[in-house]
Amino acid sequence: MVDRFDLSGKRALITGGGRGLGREMAQAFAEHGADVIIASRKLDVLEQTAAEIAEATGRTITAKACHVGEWEQVSRLADEVYAEFGRVDILVNNAGMSPLYESLSAVTEELWRKVIDVNLAGPFRLSALIGERMKEAGGGAIINVSSTAS
């Protein structure tokens, strides 16, 4: 019987991969055979997470600093990943933010733009950059994570 969860030989890129759901996805992908690149703003957290997952699974886990709300950083991430690894088979746009505020009218324009950049613009840009390369390579999968708060 075919193992539908076998990711052997696959390479996954997960944003927001240092903690929470992103970390758990990175762990699960690695347990099923994938090598994983985790990206987030906090490189120190990513490096610790990468080391722990690599030790537990024996897979290659790579940490990359990237603020997904910054298009230049997203472009750099895509270029670095392809220069180092040659391909991405699975992209998981998991990074996001859901700030607390007293009321909708209390949300500043600055906060609004930050939320849009991180939750919408960054994943759009990364999907475009990675998706085009996936298409050229014959395919891949893009997973966009959302929450009820968004």
Q: Place 24 in a pLDDT band, splitting at 50, 70 and 90.
A: very high
Q: Residue 142: which H helix or E strand, with range?
A: strand 141-144
- For the chain, which residues make up each domain, given as ranges? 11-144
pLDDT at residue 3 in the model? 73
Q: Using CA atoms, how far apart are residues 54 and 27, in angstroms rounded to an integer?
A: 9
Of the candidates 79, 83, 84, 96, which has an alpha carbon nearest to the alpha carbon of residue 130?
79
Interval 56-109: pLDDT, tens: 999 999 999 999 999 999 999 999 999 999 999 999 999 998 888 889 999 999
Can you point out the beta strands (E) in 1-117? 11-15, 35-40, 61-65, 90-93
pTM equals 0.93
- The amino acid sitting at 75 is S
Q: Using CA atoms, how far apart are residues 35 and 55, in angstroms rounded to an integer?
A: 13
Q: Using CA atoms, how far apart are residues 38 and 88, in angstroms rounded to an integer?
A: 12
Q: What is the mean pLDDT of residues 17-46?
A: 96
Domain 11-144 fold is Rossmann fold (3.40.50)
